[in-house]
Structure 1
């Protein structure tokens, strides 16, 4: 068996299935023209060779990693230019992944992990974007004036070990964004680079975790507003939460020069915040400060920390950036505290916690009527509770609440996501999709936008797009078990059994962790039971099902999820017993179980037929 080292480029058309559905002949012609006029000539020009063509993608081999990366940038620029002069309402966009590694040579074809990783990286790339492995970054070094923005270690399907991944910024036309890559494991960015690690909760009360997390996120948000500062995203740095870390190792893993770490102690009306800025190259401390203040000074503390970082790193602020950093979503610390608590409850996602989250957001908006985030939180909770039939609130009221949030802050991604969900449940699907897209454009890492837009696509039958967004949601929040478990349903619908198992194991691991922390919360028990059913662990699935119904015996959503687990295990009678109790819920969410191929044996069951008829009649 012949083996060799090669740079492998994987390219794929984003949303190809949807484009073909809209205009099969036109899409086919555009894809073929793109291959002949752009992809094939550029790959040849950069000394590459296409060794596999698929309907919506290709695999190419390069002897030089530099050639492969330069070719990828040329392809994306060329595709953008073609879209700019075209008149199509649905322009073609490609995703590109590049890996450098050993491949198996078989005639003109190439196989092996080196090829597989490139294909997986392509799936992580944004439409119009490039994602590369850490090996590619090391080989390229500072040879190209591109930005290589760390995405952290990613778990790729069917790849045992996590892979260090980087997003490539190839825009040479915008000098402020150009950043050469790593040299000797550390960045040589034109922009100064920093990662903010999760601040430790020193309050002695685990329930105060939401407060230290909220402060960390707000500092990341403030620093991210500075164009001359590269800040690692929240979802990447929070993978280090609760782990003992070595500063220099973390700096190298994230590809940054500086790290900010700290702690928060909140006791009554007082708060103590410590912060220290560390040089990741040698571990030296550049700045450290402790703030002992009244809780009402928390916004001033965050502002002082941000300005201290700016001063120490000698970063130049533009006038509008000074204003943006000084601005706060609310001036009232009590409203802020209620909002952060609401966010914590929202992510726990069971009936009781969703109602708690809504009360927290409502209290925040009562204290500060101009708090846009609080109004967005109310709209989101009302949409979810409406879908579960636990809120006597109209779609019109939900849309009015989200409109209030957008009136206060038109660029608030949370408000656009909440409005999208309200529009979706109101049957205005085209407008809902537009709001979800806008939310992701404003904040690609917003968990709610990725999660609910994924559910939207699953309901549409676009399983590929649903999978992409659910995968992103699991990456954005390391405690998100819901997206991981629902991915099992998506991959089952796609016939991708290996991916279904991977997603199920991840969802189960996260659900177990959450259930240990909050044994009173039925949500992880519900989803854990479903994951176990898909993984074939029938006895444990039944144990988790019983635990769910013991925690929340009257929760319709809990009954629905347990019914899904029973259906998948072939336990038809107990499943139908539960589903017949939850017709309002099943009428909204029946797409989850109606697409399961393992339900074929029950399709002709009289009770099943009556149930399908009743859920159809009960649909909103």
Structure 2
């Protein structure tokens, strides 16, 4: 390539400078080698590219088997929605190679590649002060101050027990969370960093892919009642180690070690940081390591599976029994309780009341934990306390503005507060922070926002990210297709909803999904009714 290129084909755009593939403006997750392979196929579009040539272009002089190329092609086809038997994009020429066959428009990327930046919520004009002799390249995109882009790679589990991986993952996640509290840092998300878990990495290549200058990596080794944590900070641009440290402590001191790691990284990275209210914004760690492990295990379970959700609830209950002042455990258990309420009969609010009490207790225990505010906001929404919902979801974003979950939660709450147009910006912000953020409820709520704005084609595009047949998703799909005039698809999804949930009714759905704006509820009810769902 002569320079940064942009390739447009069908509904896709590939931008080489930003290292991103977009579908209808939304990022599509691709492994680095699959992205490089697609770039080569697009550059040589229409040409038959031999397998050996592609292996050399993408994998260079490394020894790899031909099967690696086949797997990358399969990944591309999955990402593009292509079919090897009837290809629209990538044609296989048997025993010879591959050809990109779709029409492509190519243009130069005239603007220089910008450092990817997690958006920062607007605040007052106070700024973090940075001292130091070393010049640091900073992103200009922050709304309220300069920021240093940094990624924390998954700390390696050196315990020799694969079952302990959740512990090293949890340490990594907590370091990411604590670093994210510093407004002078733009910390890449867990989903972005954890793509490199368990593999040998070229730090400079990772830095290019994540568009950061600094990389944090390390390891965790548990030895009986002791833990050894190693951490190092790497300046990928200079190719040098800035700092490295080893901590060998009793397990009971693990949270003190974690705080020391975060403090040292930050002070090394940006000099003396004058942060207002540093002590006030630091999360209080649980007193019990066993309670902490229960939360890690519960968080790792798939909550959309009923058995896993029940197990997670038990783990959060156990965490509270071990540490009665563990705010996050109370908050997460609140989420499990109001999840049960969704399927309860109208008027049976015991589970919601219990969730409210737990969420309120979490806030009392730790008013500076953003997750506690976010989950309390969601409980307030379900209780139709809309003003409290708005207050606490905004507080969650203020406390941790680079948390993609907070941004997505904000989008979700704004829908029910009657501000679907503003919700779209927050859903996009969540993906700006984390291009790999793709939990099912995110796409469901994103689609609902478009539906309420009468932008039905865009709503369908969001719902299409959801392959499952959960009754709430099917009901929304049915309503959307009905409102856009596609009766056949509306009836199809209505049937799927009723097959999954025979007792479904529009009244029950709306009772469990409160809208501040009655017109929003009426539109959704109209769509479901047109689709044939029972009142």
Q: What TM bracket, shorter-length normalisation?
A: 0.5 to 0.7
Q: Aligned partners of 1:326 and 1:373: how far apart in 2?
A: 13
Do the aligned partners of 2:448 and 2:476 also contact (CA within 8 Å) in 1? no
Q: Distance in 2 between matches of 1:301 and 1:193?
A: 23
Report the secondary structure of 2:128's partner residue: helix
The structure carrying a bigger helix percent of its residues is: 1
Matched residue, 1:481: 440
Structure 2 equivalent of residue 20 of structure 1: none
User: Residue 395 of structure 1 contacts residue 422 of structure 1 at CA under 8 Å; is this kept in 2?
Assistant: yes
* Match of residue 128, structure 2, among 143, 152, 176: 176
Task: Choose from 374, 379, 385 the match for 1:417.
Answer: 374
2:492 equivalent in structure 1: 570
574 and 386 in structure 1: CA distance in 2 versus 1, 3 angstrom threshold: closer
Structure 1 residues 40-59: aligned runs within 5 Å: none
Residue 274 of structure 1 aligns to a residue whose secondary structure is strand
Question: Which among 24, 37, 40 is matched to residue 157 of structure 1?
Answer: 24
Q: Does 1:438 align with 2:305?
A: no
Instruction: Identify if the C-alpha distance between structure 1 residues 194 and 570 changes in structure 2 by more than 3 Å, giving closer, same or farther.
Output: closer
- Check 1:389–1:201 CA distance in 2 against 1; reply closer, same or farther (3 A cut): farther
> Alignment length, in residue pairs?
417
Of 274, 299, 312, which residue of structure 1 is paired with 2:255?
A: 299
Residues 92-491 of structure 1 aligned to structure 2 (within 5 Å): 155=22, 157-158=24-25, 165-166=116-117, 176=128, 186-187=137-138, 194-202=150-158, 208-225=164-181, 229-234=184-189, 237-238=192-193, 240-242=195-197, 245-252=201-208, 254=210, 256-266=212-222, 269-291=225-247, 293-310=249-266, 312-313=268-269, 315-316=271-272, 318=274, 323=279, 328-345=284-301, 348-389=303-344, 393=350, 395-446=352-403, 449-459=406-416, 462-473=419-430, 476=434, 478-491=437-450
Residue number among 552, 561, 586 corresponding to 2:509 in the alignment: 586
Kindly provide the CA deviation profile for residues 549-579 of structure 1, in whole angstroms up to 9, marking residues without a partner as x: xxxxxxxxxxxxxxxxx97352655644554
Confirm or deny: 8 A CA contact 1:398 1:422 kept in the other structure.
yes
Q: Is the 8 A contact 1:507 1:531 kept in 2?
A: no
Equivalents in 1 of 2:475, 2:230: separation in Å? 41
In structure 2, relative to structure 1, the CA distance for the partners of 1:448 and 1:593 (3 Å cut) is: farther
Distance (whole Å) between structure 1 residues aligned to residue 124 and residue 494 of structure 2? 60
Kindly state the Cα deviation for residue 301 of structure 1 after the two structures are TM-superposed: 2.6
The 1:593–1:266 alpha-carbon spacing in structure 2 relative to 1, beyond 3 Å, is farther
**For residues 453-602 of structure 1, what are the structure 2 equivalents within 5 Å?**
453-459=410-416, 462-473=419-430, 476=434, 478-492=437-451, 494=453, 496=455, 499-500=458-459, 502-504=461-463, 506-508=465-467, 526=470, 568=490, 570=492, 575-576=497-498, 578-583=500-505, 586-588=509-511, 595=524, 602=531
Q: Kindly report the root-mean-square deviation, in angstroms, between the aligned alpha carbons of the 2 structures.
A: 5.0
Are the equivalent residues in 2 in contact too, given 1:257–1:279 (CA < 8 A)?
A: yes
Distance in 2 of aligned mates of 1:486 and 1:312: 40
Contact residue 199 and residue 213 of structure 1 kept, 8 A: yes
Q: What is the DSSP-based 3-state SS (H/G/I as helix, E as strand, rest coil) of the residue aligned with 2:389?
A: helix
Report which stretch shifted further, 399-408 or 307-316: 307-316
Where 2:285 maps in the other structure, the secondary structure is coil
Deviation at 1:191, TM superposition (A): 6.8
**Deviation by residue 1:443-502 (Cα, 9 ceiling, x = unmatched):** 234455444544444445644334334444455563513312443444455454664465
Higher relative contact order (CA 8 A, sep 6+): 2
Quote how far apart the aligned CAs of 1:261 are.
1.0
Answer yes or no: is the 8 Å Cα contact 1:372–1:408 preserved in 2: yes
Deviation readout 1:300-348 (Å, 9 max, x if unpaired): 3313423443565472255977756987422321111112223333x63
TM (norm. structure 2) is: 0.61
Shift of 1:260: 0.7
List runs of 5+ in structure 2 lacking aligned partners: 30-112, 141-145, 481-487, 514-519
Whether contact under 8 Å (1:176, 1:191) holds in the other structure is: no
- Is the Cα contact below 8 Å between 1:225 and 1:324 reproduced in 2? no
- 2:377 touches 2:389 (CA, 8 Å); kept in 1? yes
Cα gap change, 1:168/1:415 in structure 2, threshold over 3 Å: closer, same or farther?
closer
Secondary structure of residue in 2 paired with 1:431: helix
Q: Secondary structure at the match of 2:321?
A: helix
Q: TM-score w.r.t. structure 1 length?
A: 0.54
